[in-house]
Amino acid sequence: MPVTSVDKDLEKLTMEIVADFPVSVRRLWDAYADPRQLEKFWGPPTWPATFDRHDLTPGGLSNYYMTGPDGSRAGGYWEFLAVEEGRSFEVIDGFTHDDGTPNTDLPRMRAVFLFEETDTGSRLRTTTYFNSLTELEQLVSMGMEEGTVLAMGQIDDVLADLRTFAADRATQAQMLSDTRVRISRVVRGTPEQVWAAHHQPELLRQWCYGPDGWDFVECTVATAPGDRHRYAYAPRDGVEGQEFALTGELLETDPPHREVFLETMEGVDGPPTHNEQTLTPVEGGTLISLVITYDSLEQRDMILGTGMTYGMEAGYERLEAGVLAGA
């Protein structure tokens, strides 16, 4: 059990939990920065967490829910007030309703996560600040202390797994629900470099051109909310296939961390997908996390069945070997 102390101060209205780990601060930090890893330990063993959104940057937001043994859900969110990469982050920690909106009937707390180096590895010092003694007692009675200790007891297994989330792993598709998928890949480059490669047409054309034997014939990039993008591809002579285009609308942008956009294939009936892409610095490069929301299970399976993940992996390989290698 990594937790070494739990200290509740009823005068200062705080609860501090200290845990020690036999790994570097960078490795421990990445477990909290990567939603694929975080959701393996954030909820207690019988209440595993799923993160729909995780933006570890000042002003960012994380949304998650924990699923109980009977299928019931308990949701929460973090509003990131401050982030010092590899050192600390500060959040407003609150609860959500089933639809993901904040539950104002339950308390909101401020929490600071401090990552420290020790002689044997690293230490995480988590301090939660409550608004009143009543709120502190309420949350302790709800099992906050026991749940946090149980959840942190799962971190060691995640930290020991050096392969599942390594930078040399191919693109992965994780089913978050019947209509949501998270596509993940670590690429060797900074978030600024990866963002530029996604938004500068001269760079985008070098790696995001589909299968071998195809040309990127139009590359219109959206740069501000309300703008529309259009990427058109055509097969070269002798290559089977017909020209197609992906088009959509940019909804939100926060360079070089996050963007939200709609996208559909021209000429195909049906609603567009809703896409949230986040770039997070981790050991070995930048984690690209793309959460796609489909209109239905059938649409999800149809699009994934086209080999989309394999096509994205081919593009990311070109991105690393070409654009980022020369950056």
Q: pLDDT under 50 in the chain at which residues? A: none
pLDDT value for 1? 60
How far from the centroid of its chain's Cα atoms is residue 125's Cα?
A: 23
pLDDT value for 268? 83
313 and 170 Cβ atoms separated by less than 8 Å: yes
- Options 3.40.50.300, 3.90.280.10, 3.60.21.10, 3.30.530.20; which CATH number does 172-324 get? 3.30.530.20
Helices 144-152 & 133-141 angle (0-180, nearest 10): 60
Q: Say whether 152 sits in a helix, a strand or coil.
A: helix
The angle subtended at Cα 278 by Cα 175 and Cα 226, nearest 5°, is 105
Residue 109: how many other CB atoms lie within 10 Å? 21
Instruction: Give the long-range contacts of residues 47-53, CB within 8 A, separation 24 or more.
Output: 47/74, 47/147, 50/176, 50/177, 52/100, 52/176, 52/180, 52/291, 53/276, 53/278, 53/291
Domain ranges of the chain: 3-160, 172-324
Task: Please state, in angstroms and as integers, the Cα–Cα distance from residue 124 to each residue in 63, 83, 115, following that order.
Answer: 22, 15, 5
C-alpha span between 140 and 30 (Å, rounded): 28
pLDDT value for 306? 84
Record the pTM: 0.92
Output the six-digit token pair for 42: 């954030």
pLDDT value for 327? 65
- Options 3.40.50.300, 3.50.50.60, 1.20.1250.20, 3.30.530.20; which CATH number does 3-160 get? 3.30.530.20
pLDDT tens digit sequence for 135-182: 988 888 888 888 888 888 899 889 888 778 877 889 999 999 999 999
152 and 4 Cβ atoms separated by less than 8 Å: no
Two domains, one topology: 3-160 and 172-324:
yes
Residues constituting the chain: 327
